[in-house]
Amino acid sequence: MSLVELDNLRKEFGTGRQAVPMVAVDDVSLSVTEGETFALVGESGSGKTTLTRLLLWLLEPSSGTVRFDGQDLATLSAARMRAVRRQMQVVLQDPYSSMNPRMRVTDIVAEPLVTHEPGHRGRRARGKLRATVGELLDAVGLAPDVQDRYPHEFSGGQRQRISIARALALRPRLVVLDEPTSALDVSVQAQVLDLLADLQRRFGLTYVFVSHNLAVVQRIADRVGVLAGGQLVEVGQAAQVLRTPEHPYTRALVDAVPHPDPVYARRRKAAS
Amino acid sequence: MSPVLRVDELSVQFRLGTETVHAVRDVSLRVDPGEILAVVGESGSGKTATALSVLQLNPVPPCVYAGGEIRLDDRDLLRLSEKDMRAVRGNDIAMIFQDPMTSLNPLKRVGAQVAEVLHRHQGVSRASARAAVPPALAEAGIANPELRAELYPHQLSGGLRQRVMIAMALIGRPRVLIADEPTTALDVTVQARILDLLVELAQRRDMAVMLITHDLGVVAEVADRVAVMYQGRVVEDGSVSEVFGAPADDYTARLLRATPRLERV
């Protein structure tokens, strides 16, 4: 079953004074199945970030439709929209700038709960809130006693775990992961990827995973869509697209990935 | 062949109040002319502190060069006066940094910035320094160099900006180039072309390159030898095929295992 359906989605920027608008997303149609990990790959400027903003309805498309669980997001009332929003969450690339440095971990992770669930507001709800946050932190592999600490006390990998806990607070169905590991060291990256796979199984999550790292995509994604110049040039099973790319752009992208095996890397160099 | 640059048992500390951070501990490295030495490690491993030590660009204080030698031919750079050191930078040893966006002056045309290096470091007149710019840009793989020299940094893509940085580093014909994560901010297809350029320049000019990176894929593609750093120490070094083929150190093995690789047919 499709959780997200994008139909002929188009986004133009700078339509005001400029004669020729910049087309950031150009006629993209795709669907994301419930429970899968769908990866969006492409280089800077390819439109992958704009596409996720449209999908999350943080930007409205110039034309085309976004459906979440069968509902056309353009037609929803404010109340219905709020109900949809809590089902879709996002984890951003930079674990340093994506949390308020003056807030404690409890309040960072609890913010979506406080916003969306009145029962978690106020002093009386504090105990319940801390218990919920404790469970969330436990789910992402952090000790419950980190609650009273501030973001600067954590490493990049730990912060990304906090971001993930925050994204899971409302038990969403969809999590958009925008380059969630590209700011992390490889050994930490591996741990965060393992955690994401584990959480997906436990909570039945659907992931849209934005990345420029094809090796990471191959490891985590079921399907992959390749963006170039705002267009979806290739889409299919991750194993197939990355091993036997059809589109010349995908092939160029795959060929450019450095291979951490000198024998293979040298051979490739000699061949070219 | 004798190494052009040798680091012997270098120790670098950062003293902050009562706390001392041992950023670099007894590190020994060498680079031969025409060779690319990769220094790999994760954040905090001391790879950048080591690279900056070679040019003495670490802020003093809090940085203290606590021991060891950095030899360029037979001179110990750690014993040079600041004035002599300034003559080494840009002439004998040049450096390029990770972020080509912040390393260029946004208010000056790129050609003028490249010319300034030659004028400042080698006392070349401004006019002849300017004349040397287009060939230097062309050697860094920039098409239409006369035209590009007149542009401002924001008018260039990330890849072109990094090529400008390379042209700027190489215009003084250094014998050693230190490249600190030169392609980390770039897209993979652009990265591949910049790496090809570095390999080509190292060979053509018989230049020693010290490439700082966290990406083992990049190491495998371009380096001749590799030194793996962990917590301020070199835990393993050797030829790339030795280290990747049979890592002797446990940390190196773990790093290799953690590196996701793209399986291809």
Summarised one tens digit per residue, pLDDT across range A210-221 is 998 899 999 999
Beta bridge partners of B40: B213, B228
Contact between chains at A257 and B259 (C-beta distance less than 8 A): no
CA–CA separation, A178 and A175 (whole Å)? 9
Q: What is the pLDDT of residue A207?
A: 97
Q: For chain B, give the mean pLDDT.
A: 90
How many contacts does A have with B, using Cβ atoms within 8 A? 99
Q: How confident is the model at residue A1 (pLDDT cuts 50, 70, 90)?
A: confident
Which regions of chain B are under pLDDT 50? none
The predicted-structure confidence for B153-191, as pLDDT tens digits, reads as follows: 988 888 888 889 988 988 988 999 999 988 887 788 888
Residue A82 vs residue A118, higher pLDDT: A82
CB distance from A74 to chain B under 8 Å? no
Identify the burial level of B92 via C-beta atoms within 10 angstroms of its C-beta, where 0-12 means exposed, 13-18 middle and 19 or more buried. Answer: buried
Q: For chain A, give the mean pLDDT.
A: 90
CA–CA separation, B40 and B161 (whole Å)? 24
List all residues 6 or more positions away from B115 whose beta carbon is below 8 Å from its beta carbon: B126, B129, B130, B132, B133
Contact between chains at A261 and B187 (C-beta distance less than 8 A): no
* CA-based nearest distance B211→chain A, Å: 15
* CA-based nearest distance A241→chain B, Å: 10
What are the tokens at A101?
Answer: 């440095």
Whether residue A247 has pLDDT greater than 80? yes
Give the chain A residue whose CA is nearest to the CA of B185. A44
* CA-based nearest distance B224→chain A, Å: 10
Q: What is the pLDDT of residue B38?
A: 95
Q: How confident is the model at residue A269 (pLDDT cuts 50, 70, 90)?
A: low
Contact between chains at A265 and B220 (C-beta distance less than 8 A): yes
Mean pLDDT value across residues A188-196 = 90
Q: Map residue A6 onto helix, strand or coil.
A: strand
**Percent of chain B clearing pLDDT 70 (strictly above):** 99
Contact between chains at B244 and A269 (C-beta distance less than 8 A): no
CB distance from A190 to chain B under 8 Å? yes
* Chain A hits for B41, Cβ within 8 Å: none
β-strand B75-76 against A223-228: which pairing, if any?
unpaired
Which residues of B fall below an 8 Å CB-CB distance to A? 42-43, 158, 187-192, 195, 214-221, 240-241, 244-245, 254-256, 258-265
Q: What is the pLDDT of residue A268?
A: 58
Q: What is the pLDDT of residue B55?
A: 92
Mean pLDDT value across residues A24-36 = 95
- For residue B264, give the nearest of A267, A185, A231, A39 by alpha carbon: A267
Backbone conformation region of residue B124, classed left if phi is above 0, alpha if psi is from -120 to 50, else beta = beta
Contact between chains at A261 and B189 (C-beta distance less than 8 A): no
Q: Which amino acid is at B37?
A: L
CA–CA separation, A150 and A158 (whole Å)? 12
Contact between chains at B262 and A242 (C-beta distance less than 8 A): yes
Q: What is the pLDDT of residue A22?
A: 83
Q: How confident is the model at residue A60 (pLDDT cuts 50, 70, 90)?
A: very high
Q: Which of B215, B221, B239 to mutate to test the interface with A (most CBs of A within 10 A)?
A: B221
- Please provide residue A133's backbone torsions phi and psi, each rounded to the nearest 5 degrees: -60, -40
* CA-based nearest distance B238→chain A, Å: 13
Q: How confident is the model at residue A266 (pLDDT cuts 50, 70, 90)?
A: low
The predicted-structure confidence for A121-168, as pLDDT tens digits, reads as follows: 888 888 889 999 999 999 999 988 899 999 988 888 899 999 999 999
Beta bridge partners of B12: B24, B65
Q: What is the pLDDT of residue A267?
A: 57
Contact between chains at B220 and A189 (C-beta distance less than 8 A): no
Q: How confident is the model at residue A45 (pLDDT cuts 50, 70, 90)?
A: confident
* CA-based nearest distance A253→chain B, Å: 6
Q: Map residue A219 onto helix, strand or coil.
A: helix
- For residue A70, give the nearest of A103, A96, A102, A32 by alpha carbon: A32
User: Which among B189, B240, B244 is the nearest to A43, CB-wise?
Assistant: B189
* Chain B hits for A248, Cβ within 8 Å: none
* CA-based nearest distance B67→chain A, Å: 29
Q: Where are the domains of chain A?
A: 2-87+174-271, 101-169
Measured at the alpha carbon of residue B234, what is the angle toward residues B31 and B190, in degrees to the nearest 5?
Answer: 60
Contact between chains at A262 and B244 (C-beta distance less than 8 A): yes
Q: What is the pLDDT of residue A19?
A: 67
Rg of chain A over Cα atoms, rounded to whole angstroms, equals 20
Residue A272 vs residue A255, higher pLDDT: A255
* Chain B hits for A260, Cβ within 8 Å: 216-217, 219-220, 244, 256, 259, 261
Q: Which of A159, A181, A259 to mutate to test the interface with B (most CBs of B within 10 A)?
A: A259
Q: What is the pLDDT of residue B134?
A: 94
* CA-based nearest distance B119→chain A, Å: 35
CA–CA separation, A199 and A176 (whole Å)? 14
CB distance from A270 to chain B under 8 Å? no
Q: Map residue A33 onto helix, strand or coil.
A: strand
Q: What is the pLDDT of residue B109?
A: 94
- pTM for the structure as a whole: 0.82
Give the chain A residue whose CA is nearest to the CA of B251. A187
Instruction: Report the CATH number of the A2-87+174-271 domain.
Output: 3.40.50.300
Q: How confident is the model at residue A237 (pLDDT cuts 50, 70, 90)?
A: very high
* Chain A hits for B214, Cβ within 8 Å: 185-186
CA–CA separation, B69 and B75 (whole Å)? 9
Q: At what angle do helices B188-205 and B158-170 cross, to 10 degrees?
A: 20
